[in-house]
Structure 1
Amino acid sequence: MRARALGAAKQLEQSPRLVTVARLAREILPGDSRFGDPLSTAGDEAPQVVGRRVSQLTAKRPGAVREAGLAAAQVWQSLSEAQGRGRGHDRVTIVFTDLHGFSGWALNAGDTLVLELLRDVGVVLERPIEDRGGRVVKRLGDGLMAVFGEPGDALAALFDAREGMAELEVDGYRPKLRAGIHVGRPRKLGGDYLGVDVNVAARLVERAKADEIVVSDDVLETVDTDALRVRRRRLKAKGTPKDLTAYAVERSGETS
């Protein structure tokens, strides 16, 4: 009788319908619904250790119990990040960039012209980043992620890059830089960075218009605003703090 009951419970736990429901629940719960993969559980914080252990113990037997365990660790990790735990120790400035209208142009331009443009953009964009003490973390198609020690250096580098990019043209396309800047304490994993602060910077660039640099209020608090023209921007994006405010910034005297 006991063996039969255990068998029935195991069959129920691995029911595709129940597993699907559990996974859908994870989409609704706070945090990263994909929490449990090697990247998200690579750290030493308690939620990551628990998530890693759950993944290891259930790797050969995926089911509703596995999803429930990872859901608990997912919510735990989300709460830790919201309270400032689960973040890195070093305060860094995070930058994301991309090119406005690039995807539409690239569809018709062909590989040769696209490669030519990306090479030219790489030189114009990465040189001021290095000159201002920044580091390119990774290249992302028509954009990149970089980190700086100070927000002011990041802003200066992007202003310089935007000026240089105004001289570029390939087959009638003039690239327009978009950028987002946020400052925080992301988790460092190898040469990369993870966490809510990275997500914020990525969301900021999505809100930028052509030739526009959008920064968080945390950035604005640490730079000389007397040298800037500032416009508040609406920002409502999943994965960002509710009290986050965004601003489009220009050097005083410039027009966007």
Structure 2
Amino acid sequence: MDETPEDDASPAIDDSPTRIARFRAGAARAGDRARGLDRSPGLQRAVKRLRETLPGDAHFGDPLSLGGARYPEAAGRAIVGLTGHRPGVTREVGLGGVQVWQSMLERFGRGGGEHEVVLVFTDLVEFSRWSLEAGDDAVLRVLRRVADAWETPMTARAGTVVKRLGDGLMVAFADPSAALAAVVEARRRLGELHLEGWEPRMRAGLHSGRPRRVGGDYLGVAVNTAARLGDAGKADEILVSGDLLRRLDATTVTARRKRRLRLKGAPEDLEVYAVEPA
């Protein structure tokens, strides 16, 4: 008895050139429609207006707001990179989502906002003059040792290194006492170094205020004031504002008023003190 082969139940696949061409044409039309929708000026305006009503910085996505190393800034940079800085609905929606994410981190104390911040600026005295003769290789070796010497006590006391400024450092603290203790310890550690025939000595400025958090940086009068204090000190000197001094336990420090010191770019009524641990 002859056996009749069973029919193949699998559907036949039409891979003819005509079908493939129709599929590609359809996909191209769908892509064109999606790109047209993404670039629709009216829809873009609507999404931008929506972003302005969302919590957080409605300008999130500009270079200032993407300068940090936290997850929201990194995500924002990825979105901007993928969209090639082109305006579009997809870009606005993506940045809007990260904007809300960043605002939630700030609300629960993991971002910026209007919180009181202690700002610390440290600087190496006479570093520029020494580096001209030392050469680049020696400068790099010294800066690596310096970074370990003064960054370690800062981060150990919950300080956040905002940025490294060549021969300087900007750090943010929540607690004034911790900030001062970190600076004193950093000065001690730095004073123990003897590098490349040079003994690094630091000066520091501390000020408290409510700077604007933009990305991973801070902007505002409080930042300028702290930076001016850091620039104005002598070797091994720690200068603080009157605002910061009043937040410290008076029994833990000795303070000397610097009455003749006027700092350009700082408030005219700024009180400046040189402080030391009691």
Scaled by the length of structure 1, the TM-score of the pair is: 0.64
Does 2:179 align with 1:148? no
Contact 1:235 1:244 in 2 (8 A): no
Contact 2:65 2:216 in 1 (8 A): no
In structure 2, what is the Cα distance between the partners aligned to 1:201 and 1:124?
A: 21
The DSSP-based 3-state class of the residue aligned with 1:174 is coil
Does 2:201 align with 1:176? yes
**Which residue in the other structure is 1:229 paired with?**
254
How do residues 203-218 of structure 1 correspond to structure 2 at under 5 angstroms?
Answer: 203-218=228-243
One-letter code aligned to 1:245: E
Which ranges of structure 2 fall in alignment gaps of 5 or more residues? 1-61, 67-111
Structure 1 residue 230 displacement after superposition:
1.1
Q: Rate the CA distance shift 1:244–1:88 in 2: closer, same or farther, 3 A.
A: farther
In structure 2, what is the Cα distance between the partners aligned to 1:219 and 1:242?
A: 16
Count, aligned residues: 171
**Which residue in the other structure is 2:118 paired with?**
93
How do residues 78-227 of structure 1 correspond to structure 2 at under 5 angstroms?
Answer: 88-227=113-252
Q: Rate the CA distance shift 1:111–1:211 in 2: closer, same or farther, 3 A.
A: same
One-letter code aligned to 1:238: K
**Which residue in the other structure is 1:251 paired with?**
277
Structure 1 residue 247 displacement after superposition:
0.5
- Percent of residue pairs identical: 52
The DSSP-based 3-state class of the residue aligned with 2:124 is strand
One-letter code aligned to 2:268: K
In structure 1, what is the Cα distance between the partners aligned to 2:265 and 2:171?
A: 20
One-letter code aligned to 1:217: G
After superposition, the C-alpha distances for 1:147-185 in whole angstroms (9 at most, x for unaligned) are 000111110001011111111111221111111000000
Structure 1 residue 112 displacement after superposition:
1.3
Q: Rate the CA distance shift 1:39–1:127 in 2: closer, same or farther, 3 A.
A: same
In structure 2, what is the Cα distance between the partners aligned to 1:198 and 1:232?
A: 21
Structure 1 residue 239 displacement after superposition:
2.3
Q: Rate the CA distance shift 1:236–1:245 in 2: closer, same or farther, 3 A.
A: same
Scaled by the length of structure 2, the TM-score of the pair is: 0.59
Which ranges of structure 1 fall in alignment gaps of 5 or more residues? 1-37, 43-86
After superposition, the C-alpha distances for 1:229-256 in whole angstroms (9 at most, x for unaligned) are 211113322321111101111112xxxx
**Which residue in the other structure is 2:99 paired with?**
none
RMSD: 1.9
In structure 1, what is the Cα distance between the partners aligned to 2:121 and 2:267?
A: 18
Contact 1:99 1:175 in 2 (8 A): yes
The DSSP-based 3-state class of the residue aligned with 1:183 is strand
**Which residue in the other structure is 2:7 paired with?**
none
Q: Spell out structure 1 runs of 4+ moving beyond 2 A.
A: 38-42
